[in-house]
Amino acid sequence: MAVSQINVAIIGASGYTGADAVRLLAAHPRARIGALTGNAHAGRELAEIYPQFANINVPALARAEDVDWTGIDAAICGLPHSTAQDVIAQIPAHVRIIDMSADFRLRDANVYSEWYGRAHDAPALLADAVYGLTEHYRAQIASARLVACPGCYPTAALTLLLPLVQAGLIETDDLIIDAKSGVTGAGRSLKEQNLFSEVAEAMHAYSVGAHRHAPEIEQEVSLAAGRSVMVNFTPHLVPMNRGEYLSVYAKSANGAKAQDMRACLQAHYADAPFVRVAREGLVPATRHVRGSNLCELAAFDDRLPGRVILFSALDNLVKGSSGQAVQNLNVMFGFDETEGLQQQPLYP
């Protein structure tokens, strides 16, 4: 049974994903922000860090270890990987958690250690974590104590690919994912490669052949395929604040055409309020979804026989992070899935 109102703590509210969680929850009719943390800014008002929040009434930033968890029902965690697991392990058992870091996404602690360079310090929590791709794990999310929101790239890739793999419409031995993200995907900390003069009027690939979202994508595609799958995944940084755009090149299976894939996606997401298949002939664009919790999908036949070109677009800070976290929060507490997420895309 759904409760009427919950109190939510946002851990890491001074980062981009934490701040977007504040923005979304400020308009949520059933969620009250009961605590905000930002260890580097403890004692300061959030509006000192983000002046756009001057008109909302929220608590001052505190250190995570100083939060009074009495009366807090849920926590949305926007801390970086490695840091998040240590903080989450200290949160009282009555608090339900939605984590936006990578610390609980990979089911195998050894795979986590391989890709993130440290042993997992909370394996018991890892075993109980539910992967937070809402449209595919809704039932498990509803009863979970800890939900691990997917990364922004995996959200875009898996929302597009899982129904097609499950339906046997594409081959899984030759998946090429050409991915592009806005600069906010790298977080708010100062980094030379993210300076305006480094990213403006330019685009570049990064973590070539070694991006940490690849094993996350492979984990879920392998489950859908029923066998081990590897993908060719290359991310690029583009000079925009928000946005995620994937072009996926794949072999058709069993003679499937783009129209079959469109029909599959439309049927699979018929009751999903935040996934839409673009009208036939329309190529998705990040401007179609900017600021919203929408993910837009499309499929086209390639001029190369037996191949298709697939597209997925979302806002990396909303559907790719904080919006999906709020969507999962709604599912966990029995709210309407769209609560606090009804905003339309911001265009232009």
The CATH number of whichever domain residue 224 belongs to comes to 3.30.360.10
Indicate the length of the chain as a whole number.
Answer: 348
pLDDT digits (tens, 9 = 90+) for 48-87: 999 999 999 999 999 999 999 999 999 999 999 999 999 9
pLDDT of residue 165: 98
Give CA–CA dist 12/40, Å, rounded. Answer: 10
The CATH number of whichever domain residue 119 belongs to comes to 3.40.50.720
Answer whether the bond into residue 348 is a cis peptide, omega within 30°: yes
175/282 same-domain check: yes
Task: Kindly give the parts of the chain with pLDDT less than 50.
Answer: none
15/82 same-domain check: yes
113/195 same-domain check: no
pLDDT of residue 13: 97
308/256 same-domain check: yes
11 touches 78 (CB < 8 A): yes
149, 152, 264, 295: the active-site residue = 152
184/129 same-domain check: no
Phi, psi of 147 (to 5 degrees): -115, 130
Active site residue 152: yes
pLDDT digits (tens, 9 = 90+) for 241-300: 999 999 999 999 999 999 999 999 999 999 999 999 999 999 999 999 999 999 999 999
The domain in which residue 65 lies consists of 6-150+319-332
Neighbours of 266 (CB within 10 A): 14
pLDDT of residue 234: 98
91/217 same-domain check: no
Q: What is the pTM of this model?
A: 0.96
147 touches 333 (CB < 8 A): no
236/169 same-domain check: yes
- For the chain, the domain total comes to 2
